Amino acid sequence: MYKDIDIREIINESRSQIPLVDLRSPGEFLEATIPNSYNVPLLNNVERSLVGKAHKLESSDRARELAMEIVAPRLPLFVYNIKKIAPKGEVNIFCWRGGDRSHFAGCVLDAMGMKVNRIKGGFKSYRHYIIEYLDRELPHRAIVIHGLTGVGKTDLLLELKRNGRPVLDLEGLALHRGSVFGKIGQPPSPSQKMFEALIQDNLRRAENVGVFLVECESKRLGNLFVPDTVLDSMRRGYRVLTYAPFDLRVQRIKRDYYTETEGNPQALREAVKRLAKYLGKSKVEELNQWLDRGEVELVIEFLLEYYYDPLYKYPCGPDNNYDLSVQIKDPVQAAEVIGKWLDQLPEYK
């Protein structure tokens, strides 16, 4: 028989090598899941809807009968897919709330000789765990990277992450770079539930280090909201100022936002239009004329000098009001400077 285990046992690092399978429909999985889960659905989106209607309009017994009629012909393929994911013969499974789907799958896989661990309460219990975690003060201290637009904060965080440092890349998790230009060249963002799950997963992994590195962000990234507990930690954290030469900032922004062959010019035009209430319609029209002529760098220079720099008001050089000031001409060298400083912090383990 399968074994019921608590969600905290699944999340424990000692179980990280055991494959985790989400049995819910592709639609449920797409909305949010436990990070690093595989999706092997018993029912697809339409089938789940049909079973749900049978449960609501007829009876729970009829719903189970319908589910069995749908699933039975696919059982050999279902077992094959699970065994392919879990070649060592042990798997962790979950459905929405630890009900019929995971019970059925657990019995089938047990009968086929597999060791099965079922999460008590299913994804619903995991969601409660995330809410509880993000509703309390974080156990580690934030190191917040500040700096003007284009100085290379994301490049720096990625380099620090490559060096094994604990990084919470909020923009990377949200698939949104912030500001009206944030979705240019980005795939669809996750749901709020998935965003929070990814944040918690990163924070949990950083607990034994005592700190986490994060770029200064506002409450909102596109349609997603950064949890208040993360923002509170950032307000109380160490402050690192980053800066870079103006021309280098322009080139970095052009690299990140402008790709002529992928249709980005039109996306840039639409984003510039959304700044009309700050810059005026006539200026926005002029900027888009520059874009039409391919004068992308002129547009970037104007937006930095007359909009973004006055908006954020960060120093463009070393400043004693910060715990550390670092120039990012080369992200590798900047990461080394921050790494050496990081090793001296009393919270860093």
Q: Which residues are catalytic?
A: 95
Sorted by sequence, the CB contacts under 8 Å of residue 170 that are 6+ apart come out as 199, 214, 215, 217, 221, 226, 230
Separation of alpha carbons 229 and 144, rounded Å: 14
Separation of alpha carbons 264 and 115, rounded Å: 50
Q: Report yes or no: 48 and 101 within 8 Å, Cβ to Cβ.
A: no
Separation of alpha carbons 183 and 174, rounded Å: 10
**DSSP letters spanning 215-242:** E---SEETTEE--HHHHHHHHHSEEEEE
Q: Give the pairing of strands 220-221 and 224-225.
A: antiparallel
Sorted by sequence, the CB contacts under 8 Å of residue 274 that are 6+ apart come out as 180
Q: What are the phi and psi torsion angles at 175 (to 5°)?
A: 55, 45
Q: Report yes or no: 95 and 101 within 8 Å, Cβ to Cβ.
A: yes
Written as one letter, the residue type at 46 is V
Helix axes of 192-206 and 122-133: crossing angle, nearest 10 degrees: 60
Separation of alpha carbons 52 and 316, rounded Å: 59
Q: Cα dihedral sign for 168, 170, 175, 179?
A: negative
Separation of alpha carbons 230 and 217, rounded Å: 10
Q: How many CB atoms lie within 10 A of CB 69?
A: 10
Q: Report yes or no: 157 and 169 within 8 Å, Cβ to Cβ.
A: yes
Q: Which helix (H) or strand (E) holds 85?
A: helix 75-85
Residues in a beta bridge with 215: 145
